Amino acid sequence: MDVSNFTESQLTVRDSILKITSKFDNAYWREHDLTETDPWELHAALAQDGWLGIALPEEYGGAGLGFAEATMMLQTITQSGAGMAGAQSIHANVYATHPLAKFGNKQQIEKTIPGIISGKHRICFGVTEPNTGLDTLKLKTFAKKSSDGSKYSVSGQKIWITCAQVATKMILLARTTPLEEVKKPSEGLSMFCIDLPEEAKRTPGSGLELKKIRKMGGRAVDANEVFFDNYEIPADTLVGKEGQGFKIILHGMNAERCLLAGEALGLGYAALEKAAGYAKERVVFGRPIGQNQGIAHPLADAYMNLEAAKLAAYHSAMLFDLSGTEEGSWVTPSMVGAMANSAKYLAAEAAFKSCERALMSHGGLGYAAEYDVERWMRDCFVPRLAPVSREMILNYISEKVLGLPRSY
């Protein structure tokens, strides 16, 4: 990867994270993928050096850096060989805390943020539901406020909640006003920062139930269905104003797209490096297979795609960091949305191309776990699918950027 376009701050992050990830080799990630066991050691190592607070304000104990640096951190983790499992083990801790730090009250922040940075708390993000998918405004999980106003009772179901098994807190988006009673669909949703006590997870009848989903890639981190059945949460877990949750959560969505773009790039570069190394060493018919254009050209093409996607990814992160600042007064929300979505799309597609070509360049050995490219191939579908599909990004660009009629 060419690093000439990065800032000194980004390169410092890259060097520091590489020192940590060098302790976790490919054998470590292969084993955790096979056994589907959480890579808590990486989480702990990153927490020990303060990296879980990379994009959180210094006044709360964070590093006070931007998402340009956070994107570099996540890319470096995936590129180290950890793949999506390594990134997803801390993914929500980085972006889902952004709305909390921005809209939470002083008590909520002081109670939660330091624990996230220290590694005491792990966060999961509870938005997606099985019957609404990307139609976020139609969420059905409901939080009903008690008559005395001291608590809410939550009922509903969330799906594809990463790290819920090991998380101690969840950023939850739930409806607090029925859809039919609001003027706009974006109203009536509220954001909460709730506890997920270990005892409640394991106790039938607690109102909280988790079901692990077996999945194709990123197997070292858990993905779950989460069921709420009159699960009681204190009223002071509400973040910001009731009914304004959708606007609040949007501040984390573009940030997540930036991070996913970086994670996808890391996968692509890792696979490409592995393939190029193998193509130099593997000799068939008396010559290294990399001497054949049938191998060399697809890998060269994959490199160029990654480099182009890299520029989009870090441009989007830069715009996100500038937005809302005096220096970035010219940056509009629509600019950030267009670039963050474009970067996530381009990086995911570039990663897929790189991983697929890396696997094929290995021939039959590409199918073997010990060469790692099959693990990264399984992983690379995540940034293509989540948190928004390729097709919905194309819809977004068609409508919001090109001004074409809405198609859905």
Furthest C-alpha separation in the chain: 81
Per-residue pLDDT, 185: 86
The torsion region of residue 331 among left (phi > 0), alpha (psi -120 to 50) and beta comes to beta
Alpha-carbon gap, residue 347 to 378, rounded angstroms: 16
Q: How far is residue 240's CA from residue 232's CA, in Å, rounded to a whole number?
A: 19
Q: Which fold has domain 8-118?
A: Butyryl-Coa Dehydrogenase, subunit A; domain 1 (1.10.540)
- Tokens in use for 356? 């697929």
* CA separation for the pair 269, 264 (Å, rounded): 9
Q: Which residues contact 23 (CB under 8 A, 6 or more apart)?
A: 45
Q: What is the mean pLDDT of residues 121-130?
A: 95
Tokens of 178: 């029925």
* pTM for this predicted structure: 0.96
246-401 is a CATH 3.30.300.90 domain = no
- 123-243 and 246-401, same CATH topology: no
Q: pLDDT tens-digit profile of 328-352?
A: 999 999 999 999 999 999 999 999 9
CATH superfamily of the 123-243 domain: Butyryl-CoA Dehydrogenase, subunit A, domain 2 (2.40.110.10)
Query: 208: helix, coil or strand?
Result: strand
Q: What is the 3-state secondary structure (H, E, C) of 338-389?
A: HHHHHHHHHHHHHHHHHHHHHHHHCHHHHHCHHHCHHHHHHHCCHHHHCCCC
CA atoms within 13 A on the CB side of 174: 27
Over 90: is that where the pLDDT of 222 sits?
Answer: yes
Tell me: pLDDT of 408 over 90: no
Phi, psi of 169 (to 5 degrees): -140, 155
Give, in degrees to the nearest 5, the angle at Cα 215 between 374 and 36.
Answer: 80
> CB–CB of 167/160 below 8 Å?
no
pLDDT in tens, 89-117: 999 999 999 999 999 999 999 999 999 99
User: What's 397's DSSP letter?
Assistant: I
Share of the chain above pLDDT 70, in %: 100
Mean pLDDT of 250-264: 94
Rg, the chain, Cα only: 21
Cα–Cα dist 40/165, whole Å: 12
Q: Report the candidate in 282, 303, 391 with the shortest Cα–Cα distance to residue 344.
A: 391
| Per-residue model confidence as pLDDT tens digits over 41-94 | 999 999 999 999 999 999 989 999 999 999 999 999 999 999 999 999 999 999
Q: How far is the C-alpha of 387 from the C-alpha of 131, rounded, in Å?
A: 16
Confidence of residue 252 (pLDDT cuts 50, 70, 90): confident
pLDDT in the model for residue 33: 98
DSSP 269: H
**Cβ atoms of residues 154 and 230 within 8 Å:** yes
Domains of the chain, residue spans: 8-118, 123-243, 246-401
Give the per-residue pLDDT at 250: 86
pLDDT, mean of residues 110-129? 95
Neighbours of 192 (CB within 10 A): 24
How far is it, in rounded angstroms, from Cα 323 to Cα 120?
31
pLDDT of residue 251: 80
Distances in whole angstroms, Cα of residue 58 to Cα of each of 61, 74, 261, 357 = 5, 20, 25, 43
- Beta pairing class for 151-162 and 189-195: unpaired
pLDDT of 141: 97
- Cβ atoms within 10 Å, residue 170: 26
pLDDT recorded at residue 27: 98
